[in-house]
Copies of this chain bind each other. A is one copy, B any other.
Amino acid sequence: MSNAIFYHAGCPVCLGAEQLVADAIDRSKYQIETVHLGEQADRIAEAEAAGVNSVPALVLNDQVFHINFGASIDDLK
């Protein structure tokens, strides 16, 4: 089982992206965790270390995919 972490900030762009993750990711292969960086600011450092520059972002097996462009991670600090 691989890990998928979806970082978001509750913005409208994020909601659309969350739909992608919830609906389309193969859950027989990926265990999905959703992290709201606006509410869980203690996980911003971890997100940055993974290469997340903006949200929404999806980290699959340590590879970052920025989806559309919602909010810069600097705005969440």
Contact = CB atoms under 8 A, between A and B. Distances in A.
Interface residues of A, number: 21
B23 A29 contact: yes
Given A4-B24, A26-B24, A29-B24, A19 B66 contact: no
Contacts of A24: 4, 24-26, 29-30, 60
Interface in A17-54: 17, 19-20, 23-30
A58 B68 CA distance: 10
Most B CB contacts (10 A, CB to CB) among A24, A25, A29, A58 go to: A24
A8 B6 CA distance: 23
A58 B60 CA distance: 16
